[in-house]
Amino acid sequence: MLYQRSSQLFAEAEKVIPGGVNSPVRAFKGVGGTPIFAKSAKGAYVYDEDGNRYIDYINSWGPMILGHAFQPVVDAVIEKTKLGTSFGMPTELETKIADLAVSMVPNIDKIRFVSSGTEACMSAIRLARGFTKKDKIIKFAGCYHGHSDSFLIQAGSGASTFGTPNSPGVTQGTAKDTLLANYNNIENVKSLFESNKNEIAAIIIEPVAGNMGCIPPKEGFLEDLRQVCDINNALLIFDEVMTGFRLAKGGAQELFSVEADIVCFGKVIGGGLPVGAFAARNEIMNYLSPLGPVYQAGTLSGNPLAMAAGFAMLQSLNDDKNVFNRLENKTAYLHKGIQDVLSKNSIDFTINRVGSMISVHFDKNPVYDFNTAKNGDNDTFKKFFHGLLKEGVYIAPSAYETWFITDALTYEDLDFTIQAIDKVSKQL
Ligand code: PMP
């Protein structure tokens, strides 16, 4: 494949955009080489500026669960655009999408729309802190909740339970209120509650982690978190930016039958336009401005084009009784296919999957937290990534990302992918 035009465009972009990209993971830093520039996409395929076609397993990092340029979304946005693109006034459509979301997701009465997953998670912890009148939060190493200061925290050194900033610009003062635990380790969480009595407002978690590759919660882990929160009067926040409207109509809460106190959304809920949201039962949501004292706002929040896209997406998912089964079946087929060819070619690997989130770790040991995720062989991943790209299969350019399966994939596409993986894995 030729990448001439992508290379030229990247060189031009680098002059005026830091690193040539508006979000770092797009820069191919983890795998080397020059990012490919997208020109268009339809269904399961994305086309680059050089005219190459790829089967897309990134899908805009999750939103395109029903495929690119999904017709009901495209039509809804075009129609809405004709009526004006933003008003800064309430619109009927905001209530319609809120109603629909509340009907699809368990355990929520009200929802507030924002413009990104970052905003949703940032606002959720402010609400949790305001509601509980406590300052500290627990997050899990390797979980990503957007780039707001409270989340850009890594494990502190030695015996310290405090986190430390993992980006310059995040203050020590902020870091001291974020406590780090290991994913799937309930003892860690319990000991943080022990050593920070009556200080912890909330636990925030990706109920299926997708930002260290795909890592499922161990059996009982989410239930245990629920119990620990109840005992300690802390809130349980599910960051369902990836899992919401993907693992089931009602997301991870429905799939695992565990109730969260606050749920964060992004990605699928906007159908590919910039939308995030957070939701909870009345008692908590009524604490939010203008009803309650916790402030939160947005000039473009509830933007009509974004709401039109999101509504069309949620409606399609709600109306199609089989969509989550189809996604499960397609991903299970891919899972088995990859497993067979990697085994046949004597590659060390672990595949983790929940529903339509799947990732291949190049390590034969179980991957259940950030430390075990880091054991994966990154050199093998780089070769795997570039090999697949050449074959016309586009997976995330980082070993720490999940693949997002779209319903637009056909079984022929999946077979093509498995054959490509067979070919590439012979050269690893
Ligand atoms: N939470 C999770 C679980 C995410 O995966 C992401 C983004 N990948 C975010 C929050 C942040 O969302 P956004 O990039 O829309 O700000």
Tokens of 362: 């190049």
Q: Of 156-160, 188-192, 252-256, where does mean pLDDT reach its minimum? A: 156-160
Catalytic residue flag (residue 57): no
Q: Are 384 and 424 in contact (CB under 8 A)?
A: yes
**Greatest Cα pair distance in the chain:** 61
Is 388's pLDDT higher than 80? yes
- Name the DSSP class of 376: S
Which residue would you say has higher pLDDT here, 157 or 240?
240
DSSP characters for 108-158? -SEEEEESSHHHHHHHHHHHHHHHHT--EEEEETT----SSGGGSEEEPST
Q: What is the dihedral of CA 133, 135, 139, 145, to 10 degrees?
A: 80
**Residue of 3, 54, 57, 144 with catalytic role:** 144
Which of 143, 211, 241 to mutate for ligand 1's pocket (most ligand atoms within 8 Å of CB)? 241
- Kindly report the average pLDDT of the chain as a whole number: 96
Asked if residue 259 has pLDDT above 70, the reply is: yes
pLDDT given for residue 163 in this prediction: 76
Q: What is d(CA 226, CA 231) in angstroms, rounded to the nearest whole number?
A: 9
pLDDT reported for residue 367: 97
Dihedral sign from CA coordinates of 324, 325, 330, 335: positive
Q: Report the phi/psi class of residue 257: left, alpha or beta, with left for phi > 0 and alpha for psi in -120 to 50.
A: left
Residue 157 — very low, low, confident or very high, per pLDDT cuts 50/70/90? low
Q: What span, in angstroms and rounded, lies between the C-alpha atoms of 414 and 402?
A: 17
- Mean pLDDT value of segment 73-97: 98
pLDDT of 154 strictly over 90? no
The confidence band for 98, taking pLDDT boundaries of 50, 70 and 90, is: very high
Catalytic position from the list 80, 136, 249, 267 = 267
Give catalytic status of residue 230 as yes or no.
no
Phi, psi (rounded to 5 degrees) for 353: -150, 140
User: How large is the average pLDDT for residues 167-184?
Assistant: 94
Name the residue with the closest Cα to ligand 1, atom 1: 145
Q: Identify any residues that bridge with 178 across adjacent strands, giving them in sequence order.
A: 137
Q: Does residue 160 register a pLDDT over 70?
A: no
pLDDT level of residue 301 (50, 70, 90 thresholds): very high
CA 385 to chain centroid, in Å, comes to 20
Question: What's the average model confidence in pLDDT over 10-22?
Answer: 97
- The average pLDDT across 246-266 equals 98
From CA 151, how far away is CA 395, in angstroms rounded? Answer: 26
Phi-psi region at 88: left, alpha or beta (left = phi > 0; alpha = psi -120 to 50)? left
**Ligand 1 atom index nearest CA of 117:** 12
Distance separating alpha carbons of residues 69 and 71, to the nearest angstrom: 6
Which residue's CA is the nearest one to ligand 1's atom 3?
241
Q: Known catalytic residue: 267?
A: yes
- What's the CA gap between 235 and 107, in Å, rounded? 14
Indicate if the pLDDT at residue 159 is higher than 80.
Answer: no
Do 280 and 264 contact (CB within 8 A), yes or no? no
At residue 390 the predicted structure's pLDDT band, cuts being 50, 70 and 90, is very high
User: What pLDDT band is residue 164 in, cutting at 50, 70 and 90?
Assistant: confident
Tell me: pLDDT of 322 over 60.
yes
Q: What is the mean pLDDT of the segment spanning 217-226?
A: 98
pLDDT-based confidence at residue 2 (cuts at 50, 70, 90)? confident
Confidence of residue 53 (pLDDT cuts 50, 70, 90): very high
* pLDDT 10s digits, 351-378: 999 999 999 999 999 999 999 999 999 9
Domains present along the chain, CATH in parentheses = 4-69+322-425 (3.90.1150.10), 71-319 (3.40.640.10)
The mean pLDDT value for 126-131 works out to 98
- Name residues whose C-beta falls within 8 Å of residue 234's C-beta, 6 or more positions apart in sequence: 132, 134, 193, 200, 201, 202, 203, 228
